[in-house]
Structure 1
């Protein structure tokens, strides 16, 4: 029996290092003020699109995790407003705002909000980290390009000492994809939908509000992954090279999808799993690539 799920990939918001052209790699850089604005714009966009994520995963580096918490808090708050409005319309005589479990509504945001939603945690995983750039971390592209030219290489051919190779990064993205596919098979699509999530060996931390009430999750699992530009580029390359990746994005064939998206850029996929147990049995369709229309609402930095 074929199993399918939706996958949304999101790049983190801007950091000061992004703006200065500094190679961050696995440096744990914070979002800039603009990056936080981008994350809020992303959250508003997710709310406007009425996104329903059944599970959320993030790189453990703070720029990705913070992008997730900011955007998902806005999504949760908007869903709570919509729910309260709907309940108010159905019960005009009841003036007390209530959550799905009957308690008073909370203003504590992501961690303590009582908004009913299927996703309950943000699961952080080191497999979602950016490229490790070794001695290149903290240096600008201009500096690294000068070193590469001295060695007769282009910037993209040069691997700084201690950095991950492209093949190592491909293996890391593939390992996470295998993990997701196993998760969907075992956790989301088992007969009783009650497989032990701890068996995945993910490290989960409280992230999204959940009312735990009567509202049913979407019939099809929808997984959100907050990660990094280099990670997304390599992952798309892996999908194009090793899988039946089909692009449904007008003007962008599958072999041209592999690039770094803008900060908070969104890619969406439908993943279909056959009867096999590894990612080799997956067929993937890309339905959105590197979309960042929500950034139009942010004024340019002078």
Structure 2
């Protein structure tokens, strides 16, 4: 298998009532989407309606499950895709601070002589623990894609891999501005997979940090490192290309195509 590629979109879940009220949910407060959140999920689904996903992974909390459902209900190509609900994709655990206002967490951090987000409240996860959880999921996903790609016949011209590529390039910045980058290695087989992942803001910020620091993820010229580490807006979309070389240990190279895309939310009005 030479130069297999997999695409990956990471989607943040929609708004809940507690998001709006700036209350920490973490893992212990399993709040459903608000009316605005349901609209955001539906809008994300319409935006992705013509994208073909080969895999779908989701945090097993209610707000992410509802977001995933909202996306797939609008899909023309993925209504029957099997969703894997994985606890490794859950939001950071905030322990005693869950259900409390964000301002209370900041006050707890100040009292301890620390600052957010590095501060870990009693019973919560450290940033390193969240990072390791994300790393474990990512390595599992890489192994899964590589194993499945190795079991398939090589793609021929006009094969499904090209269809995966086209369905993504039609709506993401890569198709408009970065087509030459995508095709710079035209001798390499096309996409092995198109993976949709729905998770949470603090968790994804930690995983993106792992991509940047440990895996040396390349960024678009218009994206700064500080933007990479910012918290995603509700249903913000980020797109990465993960590229594998043949042989040896799995050591992917990662290209960030876009971060926290919100184009789909232009017509969504907030419900009070």
TM-score bucket of the superposed structures, by smaller chain: 0.7 to 0.9
Specify whether residues 23 and 117 from structure 1 end up closer, same or farther in structure 2 by C-alpha distance, changes over 3 A only: closer
**1:125 matched to which residue of 2?**
86
Q: CA offset at residue 258 of structure 1?
A: 2.0
- Equivalent positions of 1:267-278 (< 5 A) are 267-274=238-245, 275-278=247-250
1 CA distance for matches of 2:78 and 2:115?
A: 48
2 CA distance for matches of 1:117 and 1:147?
A: 44
Instruction: Say whether 1:65 aligns with 2:26.
Output: no
Q: Over aligned residues, Cα RMSD in angstroms?
A: 2.0
- Deviations 1:108-130 (Å, cap 9, x if unpaired)? xxxxxxxx649620111011000
Secondary structure of the corresponding residue to residue 276 of structure 1: coil
- Deviations 1:240-273 (Å, cap 9, x if unpaired)? 011131112x421356412211000000010001
Moved more, 148-157 or 289-298: 148-157
Specify whether residues 222 and 242 from structure 1 end up closer, same or farther in structure 2 by C-alpha distance, changes over 3 A only: same
TM-score, normalised via structure 2 length: 0.81
Instruction: Say whether 1:283 aligns with 2:244.
Output: no
Instruction: Say whether 1:175 aligns with 2:147.
Output: no
1 CA distance for matches of 2:79 and 2:17?
A: 34
Alignment equivalent of 1:246, drawn from 194, 201, 218: 218
Specify whether residues 184 and 150 from structure 1 end up closer, same or farther in structure 2 by C-alpha distance, changes over 3 A only: same
2 CA distance for matches of 1:173 and 1:297?
A: 32
List alignment gaps of at least 5 residues for structure 1: 80-115, 194-214
Q: CA offset at residue 216 of structure 1?
A: 5.2
Alignment equivalent of 1:293, drawn from 238, 258, 263: 263
For the 8 Å contact 1:11–1:265, the answer to whether it is kept is: yes
Instruction: Say whether 1:263 aligns with 2:263.
Output: no
Larger radius of gyration: 1
For the 8 Å contact 1:54–1:223, the answer to whether it is kept is: yes
